[in-house]
Structure 1
Amino acid sequence: MDTTVADTLIGTTIDGRYRITGRVARGGMATVYTAVDDRLERTVALKIIHPSQATNVHFVDRFTDEAKTIARLTHPNVVAVYDQGRHQGLPYLVMEFVQGRTLRDLLTQRRRLNPVEALAILEQMLAAIAAAHRAGLVHRDVKPENVLVAEAPSGGIANLVDSVVKVADFGLARAVEASATDDTGQLMATVAYVAPELVTDGHADARTDVYSAGIVLFEMLTGRVPYDGDEPVEVAWQHVDNDVPPPSSIVKGLPTVLDDLVARATRRDPGARPTDAGALLAEVQVVRDDLGAANVETALLRQVPARPPAADATALVPTVTTVFPQGTHGSTRPTWARLPEQGARGHGQRRAGGPPSAAPVGGLIGKLGGDRRRILILAAVALMILTVIGSTWWVTLGRYTDAPQLVGGTRAQAEQAAASEGFELRVGDGAFSENVPKDVVLSQDPPASERVIKGGILTVSLSLGPERYPVPDIVGMEASAARGEIEGSKLKFKEGTGKYSDTVPQGVVISVDPKVAAQLKPGSTVTVVISKGRAPITVPDFKGKNINDARGQAQQLGLSVVEQYTDSDQPADQVIEQSPKPGTGAEKDDEIKLKVSKGPPLVNVPDVNNQPCPQAQQTLQAQNLRARLDFNPNGTVRIQNPAPGTQVPPQTEVVLTCA
């Protein structure tokens, strides 16, 4: 996306909801904007893929699928994905907006970080990546640009040890990896952090992210990446051919434990590295505690006098304060910055169950003579050993407990179980399940029986029940719009046999099967019947015609006649009704139903002989017959024709001979 297009997006509203307010950054694959979600009234980050990538169908499909997967990944160190869609054909993501700076910005400003800060940031990075690894995802593009360091609510970056770190771009990195090379054949990856196996055979797994995290740690400690070159491919192959140098070879005085940690994470053989981010995270935590123990030893030895005092003097060994690497201040992490992995770890606090962080070595030491210096050193070393043992116990056992079993219970049961054991419960995004009822705990993080920090956070995912989608009401829609509605409802569109219609225009949906609002599984097929417009034959008006004439006319048009005879006061063989109505469209061989008169019912001629002629005339008229009086109209009926009892049609004339 060029600058002109990007600038025109500012101030526009996407999908009737996301109002773009500014541009944050432009990368190789997408541009990131700040936007306001007008529906929820919150600031979000909106990432729009460049047009050059939108033409790659494989990239777009993988990008969309991974966005849906990452949206279900709930972790405090992962930048959340809220929504995805398309704007003018370009895929976009709506993500959590993190107020702060990238790790790249921090390194540009400060060049490098001290070991305590670097390890604090790395711990949270690895916690996020480990959550993805547990979900079966690999980031594939771990680098400082994808690591965000949040500001404190009051503004500004807090002490880096206390800052919240979030990792971004899981879905985009996976989509990019789906096409390992660009049109020029060059590797599409950030070569400064690329793992050797990704260069040689294009393979990536959890250990690939471990390697990249090791390179990021190297850069945080030294202020530079291990390899440089004029061409990207030259840098990439240096990862294959060379071992990453120890950070202490660049920055003198760095502890060897950091050299060892970088070396283990960046071994060229993937099998020699930690198996995933969770395994590397455990090693990082041990290194942080080792650095704390090293600081204790240094502080103790500084208290030993350079030379012994007079032989008759007595000496009081001063109080020794344990120095932990979590920070130089005594306050705990602020509430806005607390994370599950750090809920029980305070900065500068005493560790429960272990020895105190500040322990005086009581008592006075008498006259020591020439052995005094050696005794002081031994006492200091003994105290250091006790402190290290206590710290190790706390780090490995004391601060941990087993996560309770929450899966299978209701939300209320999970809240009760978590509270009874001192945990905080969070409800993450739900997931559909065919077997687990709605609102029952489907999964939990960490899993049951896993060792977790006391008082930490347990995140549960509740079942949404079976995944079902209603058939949308598309009757009356154009076929193209109907297809979009069906496929947007995670159902499959199938066009059935079209039908002619006098009322529904051509190309418009007449009916659907299953019916509108029926609940279907995702991927189920909906058969749509689309109008072919008006049929080619216009049905004529057969009413009032003789059946023979009507039959002949219908056959000439290619229509089939179905006749039904019925009593009627109309003449026999006359068409009195038809279906379909005149003017209706019909196809060849369509049936035309004609109702034909059998004629009026016959009348039984009454016996009027010997009745006065005027009276006889009235009797015949009452039976729907006509009377003709011959000779004497006022006489008596002597003869009638037809004879009494004869069946005749209505209005038949009966001749009466009167005398």
Structure 2
Amino acid sequence: MDTTLQDPLVGQLLDGRYRVEARIAVGGMATVYRAVDTRLDRVLALKVMHPALAADGAFVERFIREAKSVARLAHPNVVQVFDQGADGSYVYLAMEYIAGCTLRDVLRERGALQPRAALDILEPVLAALGAAHRAGFVHRDMKPENVLIGDDGRVKVADFGLVRSVDTVTTTTGAVLGTVAYLAPEQIEQPGAADPRVDVYACGVVLYEMLTGEKPHDGDSPAIVLYKHLHEDVPPPSALVPGMPFELDELVASATARTPDVRPYDAVALLGQVREARAPLSVDQLDAMPPQAVSGGHDNAEDRTSVIPRSLTVPRPLPVNDDDPADGEDPLNRTSRFQSGPPLPPRRRSARPRRGVLALIAAVLLVFGVGAGVWYINSGQFTKVPAVLTQKEAEARTRLEAAGLEVGKVRHQHSDTVKRGTVMDTDPDPGARIRKHDSVTLTVSDGPEIVKVPDVTGSRQDKAEELLKTDGLEPGLVTQEFSEDVIKGFVISTDPEAGTKRRAGTAVSIVVSKGAPVDIPDVTGDALNDARAELEEAGLKVKVATEQVNSEFDKGLVATQTPEEGSEAAEGDTVTLTVSKGPEMVEVPDVVGASVDDAKSLLEQSGFEVEEDRGLLGIFGDTVKSQSVDGGDTAPKGSTITITIR
């Protein structure tokens, strides 16, 4: 039975404008419908918040605020927000409707994608994220479900800025796994992290999944997946797809580096790396079908296996040394542009009998020349550079020599993704046409670059950070500690410590001195000038709060201080003083004649301390004979009222 028939919104006119036609999807935050804007007569998508969330005023306010912000993010690869409103308990967004499918649908149906298709999808996604990052937005929930692929091949990113409006976490195991698979390590360690690099990490995971058909980290529970994100690198796609170009391995490794500082700083930077990685790939490499691809039952080459037409994403260059045909001109008849004057009537063949003969001779010579060229090219004078990437240097030499080529220069370069001693690049590129017996330059991996952590203890913080970068490392987390021996602002220690060997690009934590600790004196109850002088003499700065408070101290004296007495502070730290408005005066209740318990309860509820005076005669009494402040009079809140008992 169609579940949409049970949905009360289907068939309704929401907010007097949007006619709800069908339910598209249900999520943890909202339900999405296909609807028609009756005012503008266009199909759109309505995201209607679940009523339970709509009852939360703070959530709705934030939802609306973020929706307005996203509506200003105009980009062709971002699902646009048209309108926002409420109709009774229904809070909604009116958004662009994309007829098509999600990337998750494609991966579920196709498994792994060809590198060309994966990059065709990734580039517009990064273009959308890049525009958002430069505008101050972070998506924070990038995954295949939020990548929409239209029937016309356009790629759109959905749920911009709205994915973090919900503060609760879905507890359904499948839903959690679907989200944690793309979380950056810093999102796990510091929930709420909102740096563009979390989107970069997620895009690296999505690229890995498109290339291999699998998520890089799996497990029986979300906790296992989270642990792997924190402690295991994303493996290279070539581990699952033999022959995968090392450029794509490096691209995934760069985007999914566990240390945020090692990743591209935003989606624009990652997009630049994608284009650099794509440029040297041959047609065979881009169109290689991975073994994980699902191909059964799909005979149409123009269906979803091609995902996006190339012309929609990467403009093709004009032919080299060839004129661009004018608008409307037949490109097969380029010479017509260079004719001048009115067309001439046809001449009789007898008028210039030699013209046909010359044309025939030219044609014969042309055919002969083309044939000779083809013969020359195919006569064994040329060959193709064999694919030797990821092979050991000796194996690469043997294969090149077997192809009739010589090994020229052998360069060495460090790499975090290519195994030490194996080929990571050739010049010319694999598959390029080359004359036999020419030389091929090999670039061999030296593995990850290993550097020693320099000794920066005793250096000023900024100088220490420069030294770390000079040695190929990255400054990491900076913490501060008190030190009797190290001057304030200078480095006490590093983690890893000096002399430790680490990969280039590793982040090094720095502990910086706060200077010798200063004991904060107690100045509450002192005159403001006296308190200021005492604190400044101790090497501290003083700030006076603009608001005053009631306290037990007289008006004009220091009521409170932050930090309090006994706390440790560094020299130059600030202590904030709040000045007293005097005690708060409270009316004293009349308790004469009441029982002792009732009198004490009533006085304490009014904010007073109670003291009993029983004397010799009131030892066994239980009735209040008199009170130190008469009922109806006022006394400072917190002061003591003495009751006499008889």
TM-score for the superposition, normalised by structure 1: 0.45
TM-score for the superposition, normalised by structure 2: 0.46
Look at both structures and tell me which one has the larger radius of gyration over its CA atoms: 1
